Amino acid sequence: MAINENALKESDYYSLHRVLTRNAVWNFIIGARGLGKTFDAKRHVVRDFLKNGWQFIYLRRTAEELRQGAKETWFADIAEFFPEF
């Protein structure tokens, strides 16, 4: 079986840790699609809510964006990290 040289390694995916250590009021993160920016942000805010009760918002700019990301499936990609929920 051939190894895909273009496959992403675990270390290639985005991590919020470094940005959050800056203690900024606002953080704007820009990067290529599919590298885990939204995934890691969702995982972080859910973890903070469960640990500290901190609430968060998930903001969409347009009705079309809202339709594309159905609220019924918002948790699906991070569910494996929170099996008790």
Supply 10's token pair: 């675990």
What tens digit of pLDDT does each residue of 56-82 get?
Answer: 998 888 888 777 666 678 889 899 999
- Cα Rg, the chain, nearest whole Å: 15
Residue 47's H or E segment, with its range, is: helix 37-52
Closest-CA residue to 68 (of 76, 60, 78)? 60
What tens digit of pLDDT does each residue of 5-20 get?
Answer: 566 676 778 889 989 9
Stated pTM of the model: 0.75
Phi-psi region of 62 (alpha: psi -120 to 50; beta: other; left: phi over 0): beta
Q: Is the pLDDT of residue 53 over 90?
A: yes
Q: Is the pLDDT of residue 2 over 60?
A: no
